[in-house]
């Protein structure tokens, strides 16, 4: 069960929990204290900060120091989370607070109830800081144990988090939003972490449909027959190598008093072997995450519905399993897409853009005001930007709006160009274009050019390549656990809210 989250304005000495969380900063001459740390220090007779210095705490990001109180306070343990260096104004960015809150949750396994004083970092808590502390605490406590046989008495992450604020009543709305966002991110993580033998195309479509119906959305699923009748040649080609046929899922939310419509598209390759252009065996198991874009847009449209935003949103989700077999699509095949364009296949491992082409074409038929698409599209994204920063391409204004939203959300992104000379890498002697350039230079940008072929002129659009950020293969950090991360749900939400503001 996910942790509960609440707010309290009771005095610190009248609270009780299994642990209390405070923050400290990193200064040039040692630790920088915060109001929460000062309050606990006073409660413990002025011993907290001295003990931290003796233990060598530095206040750096992702650093958590746990200390016993030896019965001198209402909490048996104090968890001191590092905030890193402060900004020029002496405060700390929301993302630093979010990461500190998440790191504390991860460090407090075995402590059921937690009181957090992080909301007061940088001054009286506003909605942004409440969101940061709450999201960090809940996402840091996430775990995926569906496939583990675990003892019932094992240590677990915190099950309740209470934030100390000046006015608990005023914090209720912010914490309701925190709960909704954290649940959407957790849904995305759960889907990404599920193994492909249990999350095949029909099952992902069914789980997405169930989430959509729970949120009150209109649901449509196209099977192979409907895809054939609808001319979805890209989805059918990629899914043709598997005995588990492809699907197209559509989830629609109609907001009250909506005057803006947004199309969401997310790549749903439930497993990507590369097809006939097969991938190396090493790390192929990570390709269960190739449906992270699909999971994110499913969760986002459900989140928009839960928040009751005044916007119309439709998620169009192409879902397939890319396997080699006698029925798999081949290099040199020519695929005809829903909008009538044709691509010569030069690499069956560049399959994401092939299914997205059909989905973008279908989404554009609804005449949305904006189109946002996200996918684990290219290994070139990680070469260019690493494992934590997504690349964003598309119409300049919408691309830049997405990047700005990512800053507010704490999901790092970088605006990328679509240099016109790279479009020549898609030229084909046989069809309208090829699906992959041969020389691999600018691979992420060439993929963006391919997707652009299916966006109607005049439609603002943005593509978010989350190949690295959507799945953490390294150690946990901040509020990011190993495996599915939930990127870019929070950025998609922040972008949509900005578009309708």
Task: Please give the positions annotated as active site.
Answer: 279, 353
For residues 348 and 274, the answer to whether their CB atoms sit within 8 Å is: yes
Asked if residues 268 and 194 have their Cβ atoms less than 8 Å apart, the reply is no
Q: How many residues are present in the chain?
A: 501
CB atoms within 10 A of CB 122: 25
CA separation for the pair 484, 469 (Å, rounded): 9
Distance, CA of 62 to CA of 82 (rounded, Å) = 6
Distance (Å, whole) CA 305 – CA 215: 6
Give the closest residue to 207 by CA, choosing from 100, 319, 328. 319
Q: Residue-wise over 454-487: b if at least 16 C-beta within 10 A, else e?
A: bbeeebbbbbbbbbbbbbbeeebbbbbbebbbbb
Residue pointed to by tokens 């928040």: 307
Residues facing residue 317 across a β-bridge: 249
Q: Are strands 19-27 and 113-116 parallel, antiparallel or unpaired?
A: parallel
Q: How far apart are CA 68 and CA 361, in angstroms?
A: 59
Q: Which long-range contacts (CB under 8 A, 24 or more apart) does 43-46 make?
A: 43/12, 43/13, 43/72, 43/73, 44/69, 44/72, 44/73, 44/78, 45/72
Task: Using alpha carbons, select from 501, 489, 403, 495 the residue that is nearest to residue 186.
Answer: 489
Q: Please, which contacts does 149-153 make with residues 24 or more away whose CB atoms are closer than 8 Å? A: none
> Which of 334, 327, 332 is CA-nearest to residue 347?
332
Buried b (16+ CB within 10 A) or exposed e, 370-391: bbbbbbbbbbbbbebbeebbbb
Burial class (CB in 10 A: 0-12, 13-18, 19+), 7: buried
């Amino acid at each position: 069960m996910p942790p509960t989250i609440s707010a309290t304005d009771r005095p610190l000495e009248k609270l009780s929990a299994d642990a209390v969380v405070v923050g400290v900063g990193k200064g040039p001459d040692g630790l920088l204290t915060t109001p929460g740390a000062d309050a606990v220090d006073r409660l413990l007779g002025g011993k907290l900060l001295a003990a931290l210095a003796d233990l060598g705490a530095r206040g750096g990001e992702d650093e958590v120091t746990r200390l016993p109180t030896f019965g001198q306070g209402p909490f048996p343990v104090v968890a001191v989370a590092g905030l890193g260096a402060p900004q020029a104004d002496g405060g700390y960015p929301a993302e630093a607070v979010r990461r500190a809150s998440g790191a504390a949750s991860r460090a407090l396994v075995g402590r059921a109830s937690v009181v957090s004083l992080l909301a007061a970092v940088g001054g009286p808590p506003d909605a942004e800081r409440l969101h940061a502390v709450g999201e960090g605490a809940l996402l840091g406590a996430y775990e995926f144990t569906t496939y583990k046989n675990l003892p019932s008495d094992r240590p677990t992450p915190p099950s309740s988090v209470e934030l100390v604020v000046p006015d608990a009543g005023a914090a209720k709305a912010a914490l309701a939003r925190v709960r909704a966002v954290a649940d959407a991110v957790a849904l995305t993580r759960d889907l990404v972490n599920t193994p492909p033998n249990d999350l095949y195309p029909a099952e992902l479509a069914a789980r997405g449909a169930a989430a959509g119906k729970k949120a009150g959305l209109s649901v449509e699923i196209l099977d192979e027959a409907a895809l054939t009748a609808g001319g979805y040649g890209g989805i059918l080609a990629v899914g043709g190598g598997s005995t588990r046929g492809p699907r197209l899922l559509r989830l629609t939310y109609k907001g009250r008093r909506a005057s803006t419509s947004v199309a969401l598209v997310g790549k749903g390759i439930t497993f990507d072997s590369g097809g006939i252009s097969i991938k190396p065996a090493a790390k192929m198991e990570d390709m269960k995450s190739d449906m992270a874009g699909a999971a994110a847009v499913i969760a986002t449209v459900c989140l928009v519905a839960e928040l009751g935003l005044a916007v119309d949103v439709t998620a169009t989700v192409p879902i397939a399993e890319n396997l080699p077999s006698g029925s798999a699509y081949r290099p040199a095949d020519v695929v005809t897409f829903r909008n009538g364009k044709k691509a010569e296949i030069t690499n069956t491992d560049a399959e994401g853009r092939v299914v997205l082409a059909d989905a973008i074409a279908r989404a554009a038929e609804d005449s949305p005001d904006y189109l946002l698409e996200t996918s684990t599209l290219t290994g070139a994204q990680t070469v260019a930007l690493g494992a934590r920063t997504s690349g964003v391409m598309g119409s300049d204004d919408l691309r830049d709006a997405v990047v700005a939203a990512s800053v507010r959300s704490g999901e790092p992104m970088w605006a990328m160009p679509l240099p016109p000379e790279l479009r020549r890498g898609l030229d084909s002697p046989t069809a309208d274009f090829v699906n992959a350039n041969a020389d691999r230079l600018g691979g992420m940008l060439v993929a963006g050019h391919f997707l652009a072929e299916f966006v109607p002129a005049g439609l603002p659009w943005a593509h978010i390549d989350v190949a690295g950020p959507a799945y953490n293969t390294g150690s946990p950090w901040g509020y990011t656990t190993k495996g599915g991360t939930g990127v870019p749900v929070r950025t998609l939400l922040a972008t949509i809210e900005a578009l309708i503001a």
